[in-house]
Amino acid sequence: MPLNLPNILTSIRVLLIPLMVVVFYLPVYWSSFGAAVVFWVACVTDYWDGYLARKMNLMTPFGAFLDPVADKLIVVISLMIVVERDQTLWITIPALVIVAREIIISALREWMAEMGKRANVAVSNLGKAKTLLQMFAITGMLGIEPSDSGAFIASDGWYVAAIFFIVAAAVLTFWSMLSYLRAAWPELSASNK
């Protein structure tokens, strides 16, 4: 691994994943809030590793590989623990949409790269907006519980807002997936030559 600041930040993000899970399951009243803080710190490293890599021209193959892996791991794992805790369709269905989209788009990008057409499914502004909304939604879902839970932050109003954001994130996620599939459709629908 080339040792530079963006790669270090990406590696820290990977290491924050098990820390987030451990904090979430600690038998203390602030566990959900603590997990949300760890998740948010990981989100901040996601911004800074990409920014610094571009700004300082420190992009490496290792960073190009690990950055999206770290992003998908933290999103999927955080959604899994929220779904396990809350067990409601208002969270489970959006989580399934988000996870399914991550799998589909990862496979699509890999296939398009094999075809030499990866640029056709590069990250778009819609994908960036989806990621930002998803980060806010997951932070809220991790850190806020219904008021009868005895959590550090527990408010039915804030919890409903977090659900609204996770549903909105799922809608944007689905929309961005359709956008990527539409961009790749000429290659996907081409006849075998």
What confidence score (pLDDT) does residue 129 get? 82
DSSP-derived 3-state class of residue 2:
coil
Question: What is the tally of structural domains in the chain?
Answer: 1
- 53-77: per-residue pLDDT in tens? 888 888 888 888 888 899 999 999 9
**Residue 74, CB half-sphere, CA atoms under 13 Å: how many?**
32
DSSP-derived 3-state class of residue 189:
coil
With respect to residue 79, please indicate whether it lies within any of the assigned structural domains. Answer: yes
Rounded Cα gap, residues 128 and 47, in angstroms: 11
What confidence score (pLDDT) does residue 179 get? 84
With respect to residue 32, please indicate whether it lies within any of the assigned structural domains. Answer: yes
With respect to residue 9, please indicate whether it lies within any of the assigned structural domains. Answer: yes
With respect to residue 193, please indicate whether it lies within any of the assigned structural domains. Answer: no
What confidence score (pLDDT) does residue 96 get? 96
With respect to residue 130, please indicate whether it lies within any of the assigned structural domains. Answer: yes
What confidence score (pLDDT) does residue 111 get? 79
Residue the block writes with tokens 């892996």:
69
DSSP-derived 3-state class of residue 4:
coil
What confidence score (pLDDT) does residue 75 get? 94
**In this structure, what CATH number is given to the domain that contains residue 26?**
1.20.120.1760
Q: SS3 string of 111-163?
A: HHHHCCCHHHHCCCHHHHHHHHHHHHHHHHHHHCECHHHCCCCECHHHHHHHH
Per-10-residue mean pLDDT, the chain, length 193: 83 95 94 95 90 86 86 94 90 94 85 69 72 89 71 67 90 87 80 62
Rounded Cα gap, residues 153 and 143, in angstroms: 7
Q: State the pTM of this model.
A: 0.85
What confidence score (pLDDT) does residue 58 get? 84
